[in-house]
Structure 1
Amino acid sequence: MFIRKIFLLLVISLPVFAGVKNLTLNRAINILKKDNLELKVARFNEQMKAYEAKAAKGYNYGKLDLTVMGMRSNDAGNVFGFKLQSREADFGDFGADEFMNNFGACQGGDMQACADMYGKPPSSLNYPDARNHFQTKVSYMLPLYTGGKLTEYGRITQSLYRMSKFDTKKLLNEKIFQTKKAFYDISLVDHYISNLSKIIRNINKLESIVRSMKKEGYAQDIDLLEVQARKAEAQSMYNQAKLNKDLAYQFLSFLLNREVTSIKRMNDIAPMPKFSKRTLEANNIDIQKALLGLKITKMAMKVEKANFLPEVGAFAEYGSADNVLWNDFLDKDAYTVGVQVKWNLYNGGIDAANLEKAKVNYMMVNDQVKLAKKGIALKAKKLKTEVLSANSNIANYKKQLRFAKRVYENYKARYKEGMVSISDVLIKQSKELEVLLKLLTAKNTRNTKIFELEALINKQKSASVYNIERVVKPKDMNSTTTKGERS
């Protein structure tokens, strides 16, 4: 019974530990948004900025403090002050009893008493007994006017919170770029492996032909060795491609923070996104951050201007004190209220210099915004040009691949007739493999530029809109391997 329970528990747990299979790009992006560790860290930073903005806003509402103090002292000033705060001070604390005794003696003709009456410090005032003192008070301080400084601080921290959200969005775009690229890389590697498998099969057929011709005396051992060497080379490339595919899956698993064992293959050509200069400036995150930074510098300039204006604050305090904690609280309570105006009239020109510095910083950031707009537009044009160039290369390599395949088939037939050497055949096959590699490299370059462009214009469309999650059926793979121009 116990073994059956363990087996049932393992069966239930299998889906939890198993890797994700047949993963689509849309689902991968949803997992990325939820589970990517770097994005989680960025969102924590967002939360901290939000709390900073909330804290800055709280300064407008002042500060309310409750203070409870307990002390004991025999210091003359402290003891007298304690009695005053407790509303218990009397003439005896000033040495009235000593004064009256000296006064009476002076009236009786004691001249020393007359001298001590005014010249001798009273012992009860200067050497009092130690006293306990407990004070409870509530104090409230409220800024009434700060020249707009607190308001601008609140706006700055709120803008910094928005800036952190832009940073998170930019990181998300980068991770989506990496995820899409991983999907396309895996699809391209799958296609490459498929083509290598076909080439290896062709080499096996060629090896059989050479063996047959060797038996008939039309081929030599060196021909067979040359074919086998080429076969080993192709097999090595095949194994390396599989390792690269495994590495791509590991990177994808790292991005999604979960194991991915297989994906749905996709079209190996990503579509070109449409954009204009206007939409680029409106959506690009770097430009939005630069514009927000310009607003922040303007707010900072207002903060510096506030240093030339007065600050007004209000203060209120209520409490009670006694030598026993909370004894006769209402009978011995007291309050204090007040208003303070503080205005710095001169500080050596520091405020003026800081204001000028803020103005220069604003002008600098304003030019940086213009530079960002032009730089982003130039980068977008550059990426678009590189995509168009890759399109031309892809079309060219497709034609070259189709031609190379036909040449190889022609040379293989001519070899059977003894018209060319096996080296000639293998050279043509090498040409076919070389063009295939160039084609796949051009496609990979093009896709990379497309994804960079999407991240640049901050236009992450869903995979269903792009129709990039079409599963490649077995007949598509066979068609692709027999007609290289579709690759």
Structure 2
Amino acid sequence: MKKYLIFLLAWPLFAGLNNLDINQAIIMLENNNLELKISHFNEQMKAYEAVAAKGNHYGKLDVSVTGMRSNDAGNVFGFKVASREATFLDFGADEFMATMDPTIAPEALNFPEARNHYQTKISYMLPLYTGGKLIEYGRITEAMHRMSQWDTQKLINEKIFQTKKAFYDISLVDNYILNLSKIIKNIDHLESIVKSMGEEGYAQEIDLLEVQARKAEAESMFNQAKLNRDLAYQFLSFLLNTEVSSIKKVNDMAPMPSVDPIEVESNNIDIQKALLGLQISQMATNVEKSKYLPNIGAFGEYGSADDEIWNEFRDKDSYTVGVQLTWNIFNGGVDAANLEKAKVNHLKVQDQVSLAKSGIALKVKKLETEILSKNADVKSYQKQLRFARKVYENYRSRYKEGIVSISDVLIKQSRELEVLLKLLTVKNERNTKIFELNSILNRGGKV
């Protein structure tokens, strides 16, 4: 019973998903992919950084409790003053009254007994005006949080691109395997024809060996295709962080997306990141400008001290409040240089935004052109494949009639296989470019 229970607990770890739908896979990807989880953690950290930056507006409240013991004359007298317990006797008043000698060194003041000192303080510091520096820091951290969200969305698009490509790759390989199996059956049929013709004396042994060699070559390609399919499944399982055993096949031709130039500019993540970077560069310039303005802060402190902790707290309490203004007048031109540097960086980022817009538009146009070219190639290879199959069938019949050699037949069969490979390759290239275009357009999600 114990062994059976262990098997039940372990079984889900080794069982792979079967007949997985591409839309289900995308949902699993967004929930399970480890790189996306890490990216979401980065988002959370940036969100906390933004909260921390806002917290600087509310100042800082500290509580401190200090315990000391000293026989240093200055310390002991200071302890007594802080505890509101200093008397004239601490100055040696009794010794002076006894001798009336002003030059006498008071023993009580210079050589006091050791004293304990416990001090409790509550202090609060609040920035009243910082030239806008804290406001800009808060806006920068919020913008960096938004930037991390754009980074995550871009990673999601990339992973969706990879997931869709894995589905289409597997479907193409399955199609390739299916066609290879048909070709191998055709070679088997040709082999039986050669054998029967050899028995009747119409074919030579070299013909049979040539057919068997071609069959071995096709079977090797068949096995290699199955290994490539297994590798694609492993990669898909890695993306989903879940073992996948089989998928629902998709059409081996991904649909062509519609492209609107206005939508491209408003949705593309690289452009949005560039625009956000432009805002951040302006905020950074404002931070440098704030260094020319004064900083004003308020502070308050409340506490109590005694030779016993928290003894007679209210009777010996004290407070201090104040306002401070600091204003840097000169620092060797450092602030001026940093401000000019920030302005130049803002100009640079403006050009980067323009470059991003024109670069993305060019890339979209290039992908559209390449996809249309691949569409034409697909149609061409489809026609060539149909023709190659017909030619092969014709040559096989003509071989039975003794009109052509077995080499001629196998050459035509090789042509069929060659065109099939080219067709599947160009379909794969076309699908890859379509998924790349969808990623640029920021179109993920369901198919």
TM-score with structure 1 setting the length: 0.90
- For the residue of structure 1 that corresponds to 2:126, the secondary structure is strand
Show the counterpart of 1:353.
337
| 1:54-453 correspondence to structure 2 within 5 Å | 54-103=51-100, 117-453=101-437
Instruction: Map Cα deviations across residues 402-443 of structure 1 (whole Å, 9 max, x no partner).
Output: 111111011111101111100000000000000000000000
Distance apart, 1:171 and its partner CA? 0.6
Distance apart, 1:98 and its partner CA? 1.7
Distance apart, 1:187 and its partner CA? 0.1
Identity %: 70
CA distance in 2, matches of 1:319, 1:12: 61
Instruction: Map Cα deviations across residues 221-264 of structure 1 (whole Å, 9 max, x no partner).
Output: 00000000000000000000000000000000000001000000
Instruction: Map Cα deviations across residues 36-58 of structure 1 (whole Å, 9 max, x no partner).
Output: 00000111111111111110110
CA distance in 1, matches of 2:445, 2:256: 12
Q: Which amino acid letter does the alignment assign opposite residue 306 of structure 1?
A: S
Q: Which amino acid letter does the alignment assign opposite residue 99 of structure 1?
A: F
Distance apart, 1:120 and its partner CA? 3.5
Query: What is the count of residue pairs matched by the alignment?
Result: 447
CA distance in 2, matches of 1:368, 1:277: 19
- For the residue of structure 2 that corresponds to 1:339, the secondary structure is strand
Greater Rg over alpha carbons, structure: 1
- For the residue of structure 1 that corresponds to 2:309, the secondary structure is coil
Show the counterpart of 1:34.
31
Distance apart, 1:16 and its partner CA? 5.8
CA distance in 2, matches of 1:50, 1:217: 84
Q: 5+ unaligned residues in a row in structure 2: which ranges? A: none
Instruction: Map Cα deviations across residues 330-354 of structure 1 (whole Å, 9 max, x no partner).
Output: 0000000000011111111111111
- For the residue of structure 2 that corresponds to 1:268, the secondary structure is coil
Q: Which amino acid letter does the alignment assign opposite residue 86 of structure 1?
A: S
- For the residue of structure 1 that corresponds to 2:332, the secondary structure is coil
In the alignment, is the contact (CA less than 8 A) between 2:302 and 2:320 conserved in 1?
A: yes
Show the counterpart of 1:474.
none
In the alignment, is the contact (CA less than 8 A) between 2:26 and 2:445 conserved in 1?
A: no
Instruction: Map Cα deviations across residues 309-333 of structure 1 (whole Å, 9 max, x no partner).
Output: 0101000000000000011100000
Distance apart, 1:6 and its partner CA? 5.3
Q: 5+ unaligned residues in a row in structure 1: which ranges? A: 104-116, 464-487
Show the counterpart of 1:459.
443
CA distance in 2, matches of 1:286, 1:431: 44
In the alignment, is the contact (CA less than 8 A) between 2:96 and 2:104 conserved in 1?
A: no
CA distance in 2, matches of 1:73, 1:378: 78
| 1:7-26 correspondence to structure 2 within 5 Å | 7=4, 10=7, 14-15=11-12, 17-26=14-23
CA distance in 2, matches of 1:183, 1:262: 10
Deviation larger for 384-393 or 453-462? 453-462
TM-score with structure 2 setting the length: 0.98
Instruction: Map Cα deviations across residues 286-320 of structure 1 (whole Å, 9 max, x no partner).
Output: 11111101100100111110000010100000000
Distance apart, 1:12 and its partner CA? 7.5
CA distance in 2, matches of 1:228, 1:124: 117
CA distance in 2, matches of 1:39, 1:102: 87
In the alignment, is the contact (CA less than 8 A) between 2:381 and 2:423 conserved in 1?
A: yes
Backbone CA RMSD of aligned residues:
1.2
Show the counterpart of 1:469.
none
